[in-house]
């Protein structure tokens, strides 16, 4: 696999021309953004290509090893983490008072994309670390912030998020880990599974953020609290004290992301419980997690863009090199590179168009995360918050589901060599498969979209975003450029199907909830396809105007316009299919009894 080259030009386009980074740079505290933007992108691209990418394949092959509770990461990971921290990448969005750079969330779009494209096995560490920093920053005490955040930013320590237990995955109401008061601290017992970087050798200490129940806490989601449980207790002077009673019992053997350890952690095996410290108020742990989840789910959506783009880069290079079959055009006598064949072109265009749409949508959403946090006008903050809440399950669900399909398409471009590990595309295909599962499965994202985001406010947020999309569809549909007009009209049609599907779900939710939720995943995908089309229509209009003005990068913009046209005919057109699944097919989903699923396996004798 050739070296990773970050798509810096398209990132700049999505940042500047779609997401309006200038607007974000006008928010209080973010005034330096534009001064550093180009260098952040260039340096991140160089770091991803120079430091992380070379460890991607070796990390996958070598994997992690567990011995007597200690975990070793693949060769080079420890040094890479130090370089990553020293270069200031951990602290990119963290306020300067904790040693961070205090840059806006919008810059997480391109930087996260680069880390994950180059090496998702590595990048998962900083991603979870960021979650731990945010949790402490959001609800930790002053003392907790001072004690933990600077060390998590400097890379001396790393953080984890410990939610999942054997009986509590999607359903965190079933969390059973216990926390018992012990003076000014707590004693934690229980088992957490699937904890990313739960144990490793890359830092001196690990700060676990753990969900557990206090004695007498209410059942369900309202009785879960959040605790800091350090691997080594931190003394008052900041030095490391005793080893805490949290032990890595094993690591998982996985389909992909082999370079990062996925750990089972036992708390309090020795009998007294691991020492923990309450974060925020009792019984509000899950609520805190949900506030943070926007950022974490956004990040996993970006992992989808990253892996799809990396796979696309490889597929394109292979398609230009692999000589096979003559061109269809008359008179062609010798075999040509497969990139000449229309079907290979179709596969490459599908990847390129969907990736650009996803990137546009993700960066626009990231800009709203910044407006929601920092805009001086409360009304504007609220509008952006509502937009973000609606879009997060879409960015997470649609970008990850699409990425799985796009990595499969990229592998198909390689033919048989795609199935062989040495080309590297097989690793992409294995690595990408997790992203529709962790940070909430696609089913859970869709449940959130329909239940909490669509039905709870009677469609108010969806209607408001719909109006914005309608405006773009109308303007593009009336544009003088024929391609922009075509994309605008396609967006208008797709939007009408989305509105119909939303209304259908709203109506049916008043009666049969099973039926209303039966196609929540197709509904989520419908949202993704249309919202991606919204960004592609905007992109097409911008491109046409640049071309008309003889912009020096007209070739880039011509490609953008053609890519938007492809998106309209090949991706936006999926909207009609999704709508039919919802409106015509939801009733079919629950038709069989549990027993009827088994009837095709009965032997003749049993019938
Ligand atoms: C490699 C890896 C890394 C991970 N890292 C972490 C980590 O760092 N920290 C952490 O706490 N956890 C982590 N996890 C756990 C991960 O978040 C869970 O696996 C995930 O949330 C799904 O839970 P589950 O595996 O129990 O699946 P289940 O909840 O059992 O779901 C099984 C299936 O049922 C569906 N389903 C479940 N409930 C519903 C419902 N109500 N409606 C519709 N469909 C439903 C799901 O969509 C899924 O298809 C990790 C997991 C893996 C594999």
Ligand 1 pocket residue status of 351, Cβ below 6 Å = no
Residues 400 and 600: their CA atoms lie apart, in Å, by 33
Residue partners of 125: CB distance under 8 A and separation at least 6: 81, 158, 196, 197, 200, 202, 260
- Point out the ligand 1 atom lying closest to the alpha carbon of residue 446: 43
- Tens of pLDDT, residues 217-228: 999 999 999 999
pLDDT grade for 607, boundaries at 50, 70 and 90:
low
Residues 164 and 187: their CA atoms lie apart, in Å, by 19
Please choose, from the candidates 351, 358, 512, the residue with its C-alpha nearest in 3D space to the C-alpha of residue 11. 358
Ligand 1 pocket residue status of 523, Cβ below 6 Å = no
* Ligand 1 pocket: which of 158, 159, 164 to mutate (most atoms within 8 A of CB): 164
Ligand 1 pocket residue status of 355, Cβ below 6 Å = no
CB 549 within 8 A of CB 29: no
Ligand 1 pocket residue status of 438, Cβ below 6 Å = yes
Ligand 1 pocket residue status of 368, Cβ below 6 Å = no
Residues 250 and 261: their CA atoms lie apart, in Å, by 9
Cα of 274 vs centre of ligand 1, distance in Å, is: 25
Ligand 1 pocket residue status of 363, Cβ below 6 Å = no
Looking at residue 176, its pLDDT comes to 97
Ligand 1 pocket residue status of 162, Cβ below 6 Å = yes
Nearest residue (by CA) to ligand 1, atom 27, is 169
Looking at residue 294, its pLDDT comes to 81
Q: What is the mean pLDDT of residues 176-204?
A: 97
Burial of 422 (0-12, 13-18, 19+ CB in 10 A): exposed
> Taking 90 as the threshold, does the pLDDT of residue 75 lie above it?
yes
Ligand 1 pocket residue status of 161, Cβ below 6 Å = yes
Token digits of residue 571: 């991706």
pLDDT grade for 457, boundaries at 50, 70 and 90:
confident
* Ligand 1 pocket: which of 253, 438, 518, 521 to mutate (most atoms within 8 A of CB): 438
Cα of 444 vs centre of ligand 1, distance in Å, is: 9
Q: Mean pLDDT lowest for which of 229-238, 309-318, 325-334, 403-412?
A: 325-334
* Ligand 1 pocket: which of 159, 169, 192 to mutate (most atoms within 8 A of CB): 169
Nearest residue (by CA) to ligand 1, atom 7, is 195
- Tens of pLDDT, residues 426-436: 999 999 999 99
CB 122 within 8 A of CB 159: no
Ligand 1 pocket residue status of 503, Cβ below 6 Å = no
Helix (H, G, I), strand (E, B) or coil at 269: coil
- Point out the ligand 1 atom lying closest to the alpha carbon of residue 192: 11
Nearest residue (by CA) to ligand 1, atom 50, is 194
Burial of 221 (0-12, 13-18, 19+ CB in 10 A): middle
> Taking 80 as the threshold, does the pLDDT of residue 1 lie above it?
no
Residues classed as catalytic: 439
Cα of 438 vs centre of ligand 1, distance in Å, is: 6
Q: What whole-number percentage of the chain has pLDDT above 70?
A: 100
Cα of 245 vs centre of ligand 1, distance in Å, is: 26
Would you say the pTM of this structure is higher than 0.85? yes
Ligand 1 pocket residue status of 141, Cβ below 6 Å = no
- Point out the ligand 1 atom lying closest to the alpha carbon of residue 443: 47
Length of the chain: 607
pLDDT grade for 456, boundaries at 50, 70 and 90:
confident
Mean pLDDT of the chain: 96
Ligand 1 pocket residue status of 572, Cβ below 6 Å = no
Residues 257 and 259: their CA atoms lie apart, in Å, by 5
Nearest residue (by CA) to ligand 1, atom 25, is 169
Residues 603 and 607: their CA atoms lie apart, in Å, by 7
- Tens of pLDDT, residues 111-145: 999 999 999 999 999 999 999 999 999 999 999 99
In degrees rounded to 5, what are phi and psi of residue 2? -75, 165
> Taking 80 as the threshold, does the pLDDT of residue 292 lie above it?
no
Residue with tokens 């909490």: 452
Ligand 1 pocket residue status of 164, Cβ below 6 Å = yes
> Taking 70 as the threshold, does the pLDDT of residue 424 lie above it?
yes
Ligand 1 pocket residue status of 434, Cβ below 6 Å = yes
Helix (H, G, I), strand (E, B) or coil at 546: helix
- Tens of pLDDT, residues 541-562: 999 999 999 999 999 999 999 9
In degrees rounded to 5, what are phi and psi of residue 65? -125, 145
> Taking 70 as the threshold, does the pLDDT of residue 484 lie above it?
yes
DSSP 136-158: HHHH--HHHHHHHHHHHHHTSEE
Token digits of residue 202: 């890359």
Burial of 327 (0-12, 13-18, 19+ CB in 10 A): middle
Q: What angle in degrees, to the nearest 10, is found between the helix axes of 108-139 and 33-47?
A: 110
Residues 148 and 157: their CA atoms lie apart, in Å, by 8
Nearest residue (by CA) to ligand 1, atom 40, is 444
115: left (phi over 0), alpha (psi -120 to 50) or beta: alpha
Q: What is the mean pLDDT of residues 220-243?
A: 96
- Point out the ligand 1 atom lying closest to the alpha carbon of residue 168: 26
Measured from the Cβ of residue 146, the count of other Cβ atoms closer than 10 Å reads 13
Looking at residue 602, its pLDDT comes to 82
Measured from the Cβ of residue 372, the count of other Cβ atoms closer than 10 Å reads 20
> Taking 80 as the threshold, does the pLDDT of residue 565 lie above it?
yes
> Taking 70 as the threshold, does the pLDDT of residue 599 lie above it?
yes
CB 492 within 8 A of CB 469: no
* Ligand 1 pocket: which of 128, 161, 170 to mutate (most atoms within 8 A of CB): 170
190 - beta bridge partners?
267
Burial of 121 (0-12, 13-18, 19+ CB in 10 A): buried
Looking at residue 603, its pLDDT comes to 77
What value does the CA radius of gyration of the chain take, rounded to a whole number of Å?
25
Residues 111 and 418: their CA atoms lie apart, in Å, by 28
Token digits of residue 422: 């040495």
Nearest residue (by CA) to ligand 1, atom 12, is 164
Residue with tokens 């409360």: 378
């Amino acid at each position: 696999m050739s070296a990773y080259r970050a798509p810096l030009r398209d990132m700049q386009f999505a940042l500047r021309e779609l997401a309006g980074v200038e607007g974000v740079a006008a928010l209080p505290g973010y005034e330096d953004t534009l001064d550093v933007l180009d260098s952040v992108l260039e340096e991140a691209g160089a770091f991803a290509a120079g430091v992380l990418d070379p460890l991607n394949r070796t990390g996958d092959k070598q994997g992690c090893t567990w011995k007597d509770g200690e975990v070793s990461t693949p060769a080079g990971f420890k040094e890479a983490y130090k370089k990553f921290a020293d270069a200031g990448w951990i602290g990119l969005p963290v306020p300067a008072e904790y040693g961070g750079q205090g840059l806006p969330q919008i810059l997480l779009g391109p930087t996260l994309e680069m880390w994950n494209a180059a090496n998702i096995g590595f990048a998962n560490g900083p991603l979870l670390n960021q979650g731990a920093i945010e949790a402490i920053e959001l609800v930790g005490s002053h003392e907790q912030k001072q004690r933990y955040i600077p060390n998590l930013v400097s890379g001396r320590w790393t953080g984890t998020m410990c939610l999942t237990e054997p009986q509590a995955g999607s359903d965190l109401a079933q969390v059973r880990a216990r926390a018992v008061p012990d003076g000014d601290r707590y004693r934690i017992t229980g088992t957490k599974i699937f904890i990313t970087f739960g144990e490793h050798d890359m830092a001196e200490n690990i700060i676990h953020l753990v969900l557990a129940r206090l004695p007498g806490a209410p059942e369900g989601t309202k009785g879960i609290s959040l605790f800091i449980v350090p691997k080594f207790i931190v003394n008052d002077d900041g030095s490391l004290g005793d080893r805490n009673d949290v032990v890595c019992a094993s690591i998982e053997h996985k389909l992909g992301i082999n370079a990062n350890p996925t750990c089972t952690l036992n708390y309090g095996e020795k009998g007294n419980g691991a020492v923990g410290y309450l974060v925020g108020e009792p019984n509000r742990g899950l609520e805190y997690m949900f506030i943070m989840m926007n950022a974490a789910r956004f990040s996993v959506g970006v992992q989808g863009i990253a892996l799809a783009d990396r796979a696309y880069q490889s597929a394109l290079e292979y398609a230009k090199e692999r000589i096979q079959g003559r061109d269809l055009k008359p008179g062609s006598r010798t075999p040509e590179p497969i990139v000449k064949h229309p079907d290979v072109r179709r596969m490459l265009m599908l990847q390129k168009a969907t990736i650009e749409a996803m990137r546009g949508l993700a960066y626009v959403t990231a800009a709203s995360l910044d407006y929601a946090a920092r805009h001086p006008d409360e009304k504007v903050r609220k509008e952006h918050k509502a937009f973000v809440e609606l879009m997060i399950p879409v960015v997470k669900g649609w970008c990850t589901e699409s990425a799985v399909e796009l990595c499969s398409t990229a592998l198909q471009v390689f033919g048989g060599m795609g199935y062989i590990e040495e080309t590297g595309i097989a690793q992409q295909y294995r690595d990408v498969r997790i992203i529709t599962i962790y940070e909430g499965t696609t089913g859970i994202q869709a449940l959130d979209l329909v239940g909490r985001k669509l039905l709870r406010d009677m469609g108010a947020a969806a209607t408001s975003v719909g109006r914005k999309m309608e405006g773009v569809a109308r303007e593009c549909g009336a544009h003088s450029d024929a391609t922009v007009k075509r994309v605008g009209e396609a967006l208008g049609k797709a939007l009408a199907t989305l509105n119909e599907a939303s209304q259908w779900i709203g109506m049916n939710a008043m009666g049969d909830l099973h039926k209303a939720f039966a196609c929540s995943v197709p509904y989520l995908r419908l949202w993704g396809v249309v919202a991606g089309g919204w960004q592609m229509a905007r992109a097409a209009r911008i491109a046409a105007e640049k071309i008309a003005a003889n912009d020096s990068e007209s070739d880039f913009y011509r490609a953008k316009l053609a890519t938007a046209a492809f998106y309209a005919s090949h991706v936006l057109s999926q909207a009609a299919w999704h709508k039919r699944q919802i409106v015509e097919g939801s009733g079919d989903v629950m038709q069989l009894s549990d027993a009827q699923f088994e009837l095709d396996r009965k032997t003749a004798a049993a019938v």
